[in-house]
Structure 1
Amino acid sequence: MMVWLATPLTLLLYLSVRKLAQHYKSPLINTIMLPALIIIALLVLTGQDGSDYQTGTQPLTHLLELAVVAFALPLYQQAAKIRKQWWPIVLCCSLSVFISVGTTLVIGGLLQASPELLASIATKSITTPLAMSVSETMGGIPAIAAGLVIIVGMMGAIIGFPLLKLAGVTHPEAQGLAMGAAAHAIGTGAAAEVGAVQGAFASLAMVVCGIATALLAPPLFHLYLWLIQ
């Protein structure tokens, strides 16, 4: 039964929360977090198998690839601005990756986390397929990496813009770069709902940070292992 209900239920919850978010401007009314929590609660209360629900949402899963490709449209629309600021953008994204991975290793080292766990969480701010692949090459656990990516993305979508506003970051390009760099695809989706410029620069940051993480995370991780030996 859950297989047949999965896709319509997911769409109904998403559209309902989206309509609710239009009336109540709260970061807690998130179109990703609330439907996910409701679905988890329903599966637990009814005792349904989560794999059945996943099978039933395969049509939506296949559309995710098209959704990611669609991020190229705002990039094209903002191409002139991006070309003018290309090197500052690359520098900022690379620095954000260095800070993200570096602070993870430092804090994890202070807490005496295992290298395997650190390798799993160091890639928390990039999109899921890349995070799983990069963490696995460092000896991490892809499943943990994927779970943390989702958590970080949801947190970014919920508190990202309120934090930027609190910090006085109002420039659309800067907001987009921050959301894409910190909260990958989920943050990019939230940025696209705020504005076309934010969405375009978030898409760019997501791509650049993904590449930068694949290049920087392994050497930083191996440097950390060398230092603690």
Structure 2
Amino acid sequence: MIYFYTLLTIAAFMIALLITKRIKSVLLNSFVLTVIILVAVLLAADIPYDQYMAGNAPLNNLLGVSVVALALPLYEQLHQIAVRWKAILFIVTSASLLSMFSGALLALALGASADVVATVLPKSVTTPIAMAIAQNIGGVPAVAAVGVVVAGLQGSVFGYLVLKKLQLKNSEAIGLAVGSVSHALGTVSCLEVDAKAGNYSSISLVLCGIISSLLAPLVFKLVSFCM
């Protein structure tokens, strides 16, 4: 059964890609459609989520390794970074800090405990990095992963649309904004509608992951003073 659930996930993703190519909708991007398909299959077949996750181990185990792949878009865009490195570094650093502080302070305002604040703080970086950050500062890695998915899902569905509604036309700016908040899921959404925005989103998600890893302990200590 372990390979069945892995093949099921891959098949759902392939079907989602085919549908996305036909409808070309930002709201129903490939990730959202994959989730919808998998949820429908699991409910129809009455398959427990825990059983599906255990059976999907081959793909789950690749999650940590996939972090290495994030270096590829960074390498491919080295020329762009070299030309505009000051602006890019300022934007992604500001975005990383804003994302961490906003999530942590909101959780604190709602009465969250220290471990919950630590769990929410890294919500806008890719899952393996967020889980490592959460564990390092006293959060719950598994719950941090859920926060990452929620943030990514919101950004992948609404991020590009909201920025367009605000009449932001610069693809580079759109990409940096989406990638800094919605990591890989937002990047996929951008790539499906604007290649340049997608490229800059990939730059942003990689740099934000690095910056957040370095600054998260400091941000958590600063927020802790408010507890």
Asked if the contact 1:74/1:199 (under 8 Å) is kept, the reply is no
Aligned residue in 1 for 2:23:
24
Aligned residue in 2 for 1:196:
195
CA distance in 2, matches of 1:45, 1:7: 18
CA 1:224/1:70 → structure 2, altered by over 3 Å: closer, same or farther?
Answer: closer
Structural mapping, 1:172-183, within 5 Å: 172-183=171-182
Query: How far off is 1:209 after superposition?
Result: 0.7
Query: How far off is 1:201 after superposition?
Result: 1.5
Mean Cα displacement is larger for which, 78-87 or 92-101? 78-87
CA 1:87/1:32 → structure 2, altered by over 3 Å: closer, same or farther?
Answer: same
CA distance in 2, matches of 1:66, 1:193: 24
Aligned residue in 2 for 1:222:
221
Letter of the structure 1 residue corresponding to residue 16 of structure 2: V
CA distance in 2, matches of 1:70, 1:55: 24
Aligned residue in 1 for 2:91:
92
Aligned residue in 2 for 1:48:
47
Structural mapping, 1:6-25, within 5 Å: 6-25=5-24
Query: How far off is 1:152 after superposition?
Result: 1.1
Structural mapping, 1:19-168, within 5 Å: 19-54=18-53, 56-58=55-57, 60-61=59-60, 72-168=71-167
CA 1:64/1:191 → structure 2, altered by over 3 Å: closer, same or farther?
Answer: farther
Mean Cα displacement is larger for which, 158-167 or 55-64? 55-64
CA distance in 2, matches of 1:210, 1:204: 10
Letter of the structure 2 residue corresponding to residue 96 of structure 1: A
CA distance in 2, matches of 1:166, 1:126: 25
CA distance in 2, matches of 1:26, 1:65: 30
Asked if the contact 2:71/2:206 (under 8 Å) is kept, the reply is no
Asked if the contact 1:181/1:205 (under 8 Å) is kept, the reply is yes
Mean Cα displacement is larger for which, 117-126 or 132-141? 132-141
CA distance in 2, matches of 1:166, 1:94: 25
CA distance in 1, matches of 2:140, 2:62: 27
Mean Cα displacement is larger for which, 207-216 or 18-27? 18-27
Deviation per residue, 1:7-44 (Å, 9 max, x gap): 44333332332222233233332211222233123223
DSSP 3-state at the match of 1:85: helix
CA distance in 2, matches of 1:64, 1:191: 21
CA distance in 2, matches of 1:68, 1:38: 26
Which residues of structure 1 form unaligned runs of 5+? none
CA distance in 2, matches of 1:51, 1:132: 19
Mean Cα displacement is larger for which, 47-56 or 19-28? 47-56
DSSP 3-state at the match of 2:30: coil
Query: How far off is 1:132 after superposition?
Result: 0.8
- CA RMSD in angstroms comes to 2.4
TM-score normalised to the size of structure 1?
0.86
Query: How far off is 1:200 after superposition?
Result: 2.2
CA distance in 2, matches of 1:59, 1:29: 26
DSSP 3-state at the match of 1:27: coil
Query: How far off is 1:73 after superposition?
Result: 4.9
